[in-house]
Structure 1
Amino acid sequence: MTRAEADTFKARAGAALADHHLKTAIDRTTRTARQKREAAVAGWPGFSRARDLGARIKDHVIENLDHYLIEFERNARASGAIVHYASSAGDACQIVVRICRDAKARTVTRSKSMLGEEIGLPHALDEAGLGRVETDLAEHIVQLAHDRPSHIIWPALHRTREDIAALFREHHHTPQNSDDIPAMVASARRQLRGGFLAADVGISGANFLIADSGAVCTVTNEGNAELTTTIPRVHIVTAGIEKLVPSLPHAFALLRLLVRSATGADITQYTTFHCGPKRAGDLDGPEAFHIVLVDNGRARMLGQGLAEMLRCLRCGACMNHCVVYNEIGGHAYGGVYPGPMGAVLTPVLDGLETSRDLVHACTLNGRCQEVCPVDIPLPAMLRGWREKSWAQGLEPVTQRSFIGLWAFVVTRPRLYRLGAGLAIKTLRLFARDGWIRALPLASGWTSTRDFPKPARRTFMAQYQAQKRNRGL
């Protein structure tokens, strides 16, 4: 297998399906996440109404994006912030690196931010020779392992507790005495605390940008964002332009949805609003406060029929409930964003031609939309990408030919029923003990799971028989 073949979605998914260690790591986290979210939603009778409100808030901002960008910039500048605009990932990284160099920074702390991952900021900082300290515990694990995040809420979801204990023993100056969770957390705290105190620049993302005040809202469970943004003399915020909300009450309406959908909690431990640099009389805070507003394809999405995707709160609920993600994890998707939301976003960021397999890696069961806190129609968007892929002729010739043959058969009921009957009889020949473990032309399925032995008759044949028995 060539390097190009090994880097395809099918190859990555195949490797993930064969990795039982990965399946254990995924199950431990996503199962708990699903249970907590279900309990949180069940305990909130107003969830459905709040969900509708959240979708309307986001749609309103998207429809009036220019207005809220101008309002946010005006109020942010009034608070003392310096606002920058970046049309692409490269522009955003250049702006951040330039700010760091102007500040003569040597060490930079970074709080977890999917926008930072999207624009490739960790690599840009490393290439610029800046000492980078990832302050989120999971991102710290990913950095030590020279890895990539596999989930937008739990970046190290693909690693078990045993993996992490081994990493800490190898890389920490004073590693833990035992491998239990409190000892590992204490080890990480000892390792990271010096980075917090020595950093010249702190970089964070933003969960919300408050237009009527110019404030930036960050939400964390560890308090690392507060140490990242408060101690260094320069604070840089990188945020997508879709993070705007009109006012503080709108932010809180969305916060209630975000937290319950992400972790199943009523509210996170740390919800912080930053508004400008340190003022006279303030005991702490940065001397300079920069906000980098990033487009990177978001404006283009408005013209591609993907405006509803800009509602996304980055809660991760869609991937926690996705049957595909729960089998293959995040790295198999290849892009920054995994799961259903990643399958929609990656063609925007990387192009449909290189990511068309992702839009087909979905059963279209609709569970992702059901659990989305702002009701994003992810299945419809994936179908839209499939239609574009077909219209652009990106499917292999063999696949297009097969679909043409399939269309010929299914539009002729008698031929379809005959073929279905023959297929069932043929499949049953390969069954042993109720399961089919190997099947010609179906190794993509049987290489990693068994296929159930089909019934003796097709569904329609059984249905017609029941109708006759009932005299219908």
Structure 2
Amino acid sequence: MSGTYLGMPAFPEAAAKSTQDTQLRGNLRHATHTIRAKRAVAVAELADWPQLRAAGAAVKDRTLRHLDHYLEQLETAVTAAGGVVHWAADAAEANRIVTDLVRATGETEVVKVKSMATQEIGLNEALAEAGIHAYETDLAELIVQLGDDLPSHILVPAIHKNRSEIRDIFTERMGDWGRAAPAGLSDEPADLADAARLHLREKFLRAKVAISGANFMVAETGTLVVLESEGNGRMCLTLPETLISVVGIEKTIPTWQDLEIYLQTLPRSSTAERMNPYTSTWTGTTEGDGPQTFHLVLLDNGRTDTLADTVGRQALRCIRCSACLNVCPVYERAGGHAYGSAYPGPIGAILTPQLRGTASALDASLPYASTLCGACYEVCPVAIDIPEVLVHLRERVVEGGAVTLRGTRAVIKPAKGHAAERAAMRAARWTLDHPATLRAGQRLAARTRRLHPARLPGPGRAWSATRELPAVPAESFRDWWQRTRGEGKNT
């Protein structure tokens, strides 16, 4: 993933700092509560939402099981329509392919449609090293780029900024990247949007090369689909002479009929709209209409390894709606930067450790960035059981074991710092396998409950520092049942 995120601290350390920022927490609370309330209304309009959710999950699962077939079908269709398909095994290869393609045009500037995949691989940084300037055209991405910042939300990358902070960024930095902000710019949303529109218009009209991602790729026709709300995507996808799309291989769906499902669920679950204002589709090239050269870069970068995990692969269903972020109590308080990844929030907590592995302290900490409350699963439009995958990845972090790395089966060692947790889980497993020992322990705990400390000592101190220890009952359920409903009692 992006070099920009390298060297970032583990989630607990980053979250401990970000949760102290009252301005950040206020911005996040206001934004996430507003978005999720609107989403709930939009979803409630569809009586068949549960059926659409199940259908979306089923199509994704079927596609992932036969992904090799559909990718070959996609390549054939794109090529037949005049496009050129490139395969990138990792971020370095994808960045090299895109850089070489831009260099071949002789251009040193590109405009970009908002793309999680290009953030994941650090494409902007790679292009900058090659002397190529990449200009983000999504309003929120523009704010982040002008502010030398990192995105903190999948749908609204600048969600951590309020409008006064945005006004200051535009006033101070917009002139360094092109047309300066108007004098006396206010922080009214309409004025900020107008300043961005004027700034970007000259880039749209001048650009010869555009770079995009895609929400979906239809295998049967080789069609790519982008959903957006501002119109900047439509400008990037139609005006330049060359279009380069970098897309994760999991974005493939078999047919147009399958697309119908997601065109109903994605807008409502992300922007709370019945349909996105701009839904752009393109199939290869057409003489005299739109870009005359089209390149599709199919990105793996850990996705095949993720696919090999029968529990974790469901993360590849994700359609990037960000609904899970907007209901997550951890994300709302910690913010997106604490996740150290292009993918923040609950989906990032399960996707990033699978794409990058769990070797670093940051990646090993992400499966623990959750309360396991299950709210993320309830709102996911493709029914990703995020809590199940979180627990699965926690087991991998603590116990190690067999995984797939770069297409090869390997055995990883347990992450450092989990020896106490590992010992506790093994002791619990042994105790639960021996009912007599379990009952003796329960009775001892009940008889000594008045002596129990309010906080755990040693390794348990961090857990109980933010939680109240549950009170031990006077007797266990087993003893209560035996006393009240046991043999010889009138039941």
Under a length normalisation based on structure 1, what TM-score does the superposition of the two structures give?
Answer: 0.88
Aligned CA distance change for structure 1 residues 391 and 25 (closer, same or farther; 3 Å): same
Name the residue aligned to 1:353: 359
Note the C-alpha offset of 1:326: 1.5
- Partner SS state of residue 352, structure 1: coil
Aligned CA distance change for structure 1 residues 144 and 446 (closer, same or farther; 3 Å): farther
Deviations 1:376-400 (A, max 9, x none): 1221111111222222222523433
Rounded Cα–Cα distance in structure 2 between residues aligned with 1:162 and 1:427: 48
Name the residue aligned to 2:206: 198
2:446 and 2:473 in contact (8 A); partners too: no
Rounded Cα–Cα distance in structure 2 between residues aligned with 1:413 and 1:71: 60
Q: Check if 1:332 corresponds to 2:338.
A: yes
Name the residue aligned to 2:415: 394
**Amino acid of the structure 2 residue aligned with 1:400:** R
Rounded Cα–Cα distance in structure 2 between residues aligned with 1:160 and 1:442: 38
- Partner SS state of residue 218, structure 1: strand
Name the residue aligned to 2:17: 15
**Amino acid of the structure 1 residue aligned with 2:262:** L
Equivalent positions of 1:57-456 (< 5 A) are: 57-172=59-174, 173-175=180-182, 177-280=185-288, 282=289, 285-305=290-310, 306-354=312-360, 355-392=363-400, 393-396=414-417, 397-404=419-426, 412-416=438-442, 418-419=444-445, 422=448, 426=452, 444=462
Rounded Cα–Cα distance in structure 2 between residues aligned with 1:313 and 1:439: 43
Rounded Cα–Cα distance in structure 2 between residues aligned with 1:352 and 1:360: 12
Rounded Cα–Cα distance in structure 1 between residues aligned with 2:170 and 2:461: 40
- Partner SS state of residue 225, structure 1: helix
Deviations 1:169-201 (A, max 9, x none): 211312453111111111111211111112121
Deviations 1:59-82 (A, max 9, x none): 121122122112211111121111
Rounded Cα–Cα distance in structure 1 between residues aligned with 2:83 and 2:56: 28
Rounded Cα–Cα distance in structure 2 between residues aligned with 1:66 and 1:456: 54
Alignment: residue pair count: 455
**Amino acid of the structure 1 residue aligned with 2:216:** F
Unaligned runs of 5+ in 1: 431-437
1:424 and 1:455 in contact (8 A); partners too: no
1:68 and 1:246 in contact (8 A); partners too: yes
Aligned CA distance change for structure 1 residues 260 and 459 (closer, same or farther; 3 Å): farther
- Partner SS state of residue 7, structure 1: coil
Aligned CA distance change for structure 1 residues 406 and 67 (closer, same or farther; 3 Å): closer
Unaligned runs of 5+ in 2: 1-5, 175-179, 401-413, 485-489
**Amino acid of the structure 1 residue aligned with 2:291:** P
Rounded Cα–Cα distance in structure 2 between residues aligned with 1:174 and 1:5: 34
Name the residue aligned to 2:411: none
Rounded Cα–Cα distance in structure 2 between residues aligned with 1:203 and 1:292: 10
**Amino acid of the structure 2 residue aligned with 1:244:** T
**Superposition RMSD on alpha carbons, in Å?**
2.9
Rounded Cα–Cα distance in structure 1 between residues aligned with 2:373 and 2:352: 20
- Partner SS state of residue 353, structure 1: coil
Note the C-alpha offset of 1:12: 0.2
Name the residue aligned to 2:403: none
2:32 and 2:326 in contact (8 A); partners too: yes
Note the C-alpha offset of 1:452: 5.9
Rounded Cα–Cα distance in structure 1 between residues aligned with 2:277 and 2:303: 30
**Amino acid of the structure 2 residue aligned with 1:232:** P
Note the C-alpha offset of 1:278: 3.7
Aligned CA distance change for structure 1 residues 364 and 459 (closer, same or farther; 3 Å): farther
Aligned CA distance change for structure 1 residues 101 and 6 (closer, same or farther; 3 Å): closer
Rounded Cα–Cα distance in structure 2 between residues aligned with 1:5 and 1:130: 25
Deviations 1:318-363 (A, max 9, x none): 1211221122111111122112211111112221122121112222
Aligned CA distance change for structure 1 residues 60 and 296 (closer, same or farther; 3 Å): same
Note the C-alpha offset of 1:414: 3.8
- Partner SS state of residue 286, structure 1: coil
